[in-house]
Structure 1
Amino acid sequence: MSISTPVVPATTISLATAEVKNWKPPIGLGVFAIIALLLFTIGARDGITTFRLSTDSDLIQLPAVSANVTIVTIVVVILLFAAAVFSAMLSSRARKTPLWLTALFAVLFLVAFLTWAAAGATIPVPGLLVGAVGLSAPLIFGALGGVISERVGVVNVAIEGQLLAGAFASAVVASLTQSLIAGLLAAIVAGVLVSFVLATFSIRYIVDQVIVGVVLNVLVIGLTSFLFSKVLSPNSDVLNSPPRFDRLPIPLLGEIPIIGPVLFRQTIIIYIMYVAIAVVWFALFKTKWGLRLRAVGEHPQAADTVGINVNRTRFWNVSLAGAIAGLGGAYFTLGSVGAFNKEMTAGAGFIALAAVIFGRWDPIRATLAALLFGFASNLQSVLSIVGSPVPSQFMLMLPYLVTIFAVAGLVGQVRAPAASGKAYVKS
């Protein structure tokens, strides 16, 4: 008996072995290179921009760096087009554009933009970066909570509400007790309560998770605004005058040039943030808890068959995510502003959610994305102070434009946890 070998059409083989060429990176780099060319050509400026690298209190004083606007912009535009061409060459060979090239492109564009925008002025680099870390702190806490929640299978659109509830609760409790620790604990409890509602309706009653999140945001905004107007404002001395965390410089580390003032002369909430980033990453990818959590978010049926209670795992981890986001809310009142105001989060929860997507549901990448958005927010403040020619309206839009470009640029390239947003009903 002869066994015939099936004939596979040549077209099938060619399709199966065809190289996939991704032209998205070179197109994106090329567009930004053209924008840089037009910006620095049509709006050409002369003069010298000074970058101050040290603060007056630094033990080690670095000399300021002066940059000629014309020379820097011309050189950078040439390098940007070279990077775009190199990326196109890689794509033509079906090779990925390396991350270092994209990062280098972004740094060069930023340096040229700052040099051009601050022509004739001085940019305090440590101040710019310190402000970026401060504005990024609530975004990072919110993004960490979003990563945990979505990794376990629940879309957490309610980050905004969790941040706002944490800010409100921490302000009131810290004002009444004059205890910063009590304020932090209150923020954690408030975030957990909001996440309880999200978990209950989305997991137990199988209500659409996005709708529940949006409704919770509206509810928390309305409730805190009402209480602020009717309760906190008339009694601000008692209910809305919380103490604030002082900066705690870390010996030696705080004296490292540039990095020291930015990272190691911060408040206790920022140091808690550092620990939270490391703990969430390690627990998510290196522990049994993290393996169970990711299994529930990727394939709940398989997790159920090995004895994992899917809905209970989701419920408690969504609550944990709310606790972390609540800490981010405490930063507004106990570490930054010093009092609660209406809608003071100003959409930070939605930017944190964008950071989760931009960071590909990874704690470290989500943190870097949040830092990017925080830097964009602080940049508009610094440039307005030095008298940049960029319209103030555009600078106010900058953080949100960065968010849109970042998320839109990743569409089709990232994959959310397979079961994220899908209710699980045990059969």
Structure 2
Amino acid sequence: MVLLLQYTLTFASVLILVALGGCFSEHSGVINLGLEGVMIMGALGGALAMRYMPTNSTPIAMLLVVLLAAALVGLIYSSLLAVACINFKADQTIVGTALNMLGLAGATVIVKAINTAANPDDVSSTIQFAGAKRSFLVNIGSFEFSWFMLVTLILLIVSYVLLYKTRFGLRLMACGEHPQAANSVGISVYKMRWAGVLISGVLGGLGGIVFITAGVSEWRFEYGVAGFGFLSLAVMIFGQWKPTRIALAALLFGMFRALSNVYTGFDFLRVLNIPSQVYNMMPYIISLVVLAFTSKKSRAPKAEGIPYDKGQR
């Protein structure tokens, strides 16, 4: 049971971070379907930081540098979406899909090139971080607490306050609901949309590094992030684009994902003799079922996915 709780909170942390990123982007009026690619690139930034940080670094220094690297790479990568969709008014679905493919291929090529440069016989896309990962963990009895869980909780609270209690958040949501009306009162729609997309890049990058460090000590980047970017979008929709509901939805989906790691520890599940692949599929099946029954009642920001034209009324 402790292990189930541990993995549930870990995977829920990933889903919360990435879904909040999508929430900020869509509240500004831009659909970020490239979150999968952003996660991969953020994971790459964090993994390289763990690889090259001195082994004698303090845990707090390691944590801060890894978080900063993942967030910075995610921000830079998401700026490609912002340029294409906000400035050039490209189709947001196509650009997001392209970023997902580019992120997976780019991260794989970069890691292989780094490994080959260090050792010509090593052509893998794997980065190991067993030693560095210990800096993020604290054992509380049999529960392995990760500092990423605390970071996620803090960012969840900050996101709620930022969206609903600040002028910035209200302006951001206005640009996703009626950008022409927002512009008429002096709000720069382009700046707000850029801010929304860049924030989604930061949160998506953080989600990526949390994902690849969940339960393993190395990551093969050609595996990507197992569809967690799209699963996070499902969590965002199920959570109605609201941070508190997103957190609850993430806990539900995270629990089903955690079962694939710990089902052998439950006698009644082990007796059922269900293949492990079924447990791996469960969060995605649940997302399809949930969205099938709830999507009709979902109310997305009215102007999401629509390029902003200053002259349009």
TM-score of the two chains, using structure 2 as the length reference = 0.86
Higher relative contact order (CA 8 A, sep 6+): 2
Instruction: Quote the offset at 1:419 in angstroms.
Output: 0.5
2:172 — aligned with what?
293
Pairs aligned (count): 291
Distance 2:32 2:271 in 1: 38
- Superposed CA RMSD in Å reads 2.1
- Partner-residue secondary structure (3-state), 2:32: coil
Aligned pairs for 1:197-216 (under 5 A) are: 197-216=80-99
- 2:108 is matched by which residue type in structure 1? S
2:10 corresponds to 1:130: no
Aligned pairs for 1:142-291 (under 5 A) are: 142-178=18-54, 179-232=62-115, 235=118, 240-242=127-129, 243-244=132-133, 245-248=135-138, 266-291=145-170
1:424 — aligned with what?
308
1:43 — aligned with what?
none
CA displacement 1:231-255 (0-9 Å, x = unmatched): 3367489x93431134346xxxx68
Structure 2 vs 1, CA of residues 422 and 388 (structure 1 numbering), >3 Å: closer, same or farther? farther
- 2:83 is matched by which residue type in structure 1? T
2:237 — aligned with what?
357
Aligned pairs for 1:62-101 (under 5 A) are: none
Distance 1:336 1:130 in 2: 10
- 2:252 is matched by which residue type in structure 1? L
More helix by share: 2
Instruction: Quote the offset at 1:335 in angstroms.
Output: 5.7
Q: Is the 8 A contact 1:151 1:293 kept in 2?
A: yes
CA displacement 1:329-354 (0-9 Å, x = unmatched): 12134564333312341111000011
Unpaired segments ≥5 residues, structure 2? 55-61
Give the % identical residues. 34
2:260 corresponds to 1:380: yes
Instruction: Quote the offset at 1:135 in angstroms.
Output: 1.9
Unpaired segments ≥5 residues, structure 1? 1-124, 256-260
Distance 2:202 2:37 in 1: 12
Structure 2 vs 1, CA of residues 316 and 302 (structure 1 numbering), >3 Å: closer, same or farther? same
Q: Which has the larger radius of gyration?
A: 1
CA displacement 1:161-209 (0-9 Å, x = unmatched): 1111111111112211233422221111111012100011000000011
- 1:401 is matched by which residue type in structure 2? I
Structure 2 vs 1, CA of residues 336 and 234 (structure 1 numbering), >3 Å: closer, same or farther? farther
- 1:341 is matched by which residue type in structure 2? R
Q: 1:311 aligns with which of 190, 193, 206?
A: 190
Q: 2:249 aligns with which of 362, 369, 394?
A: 369
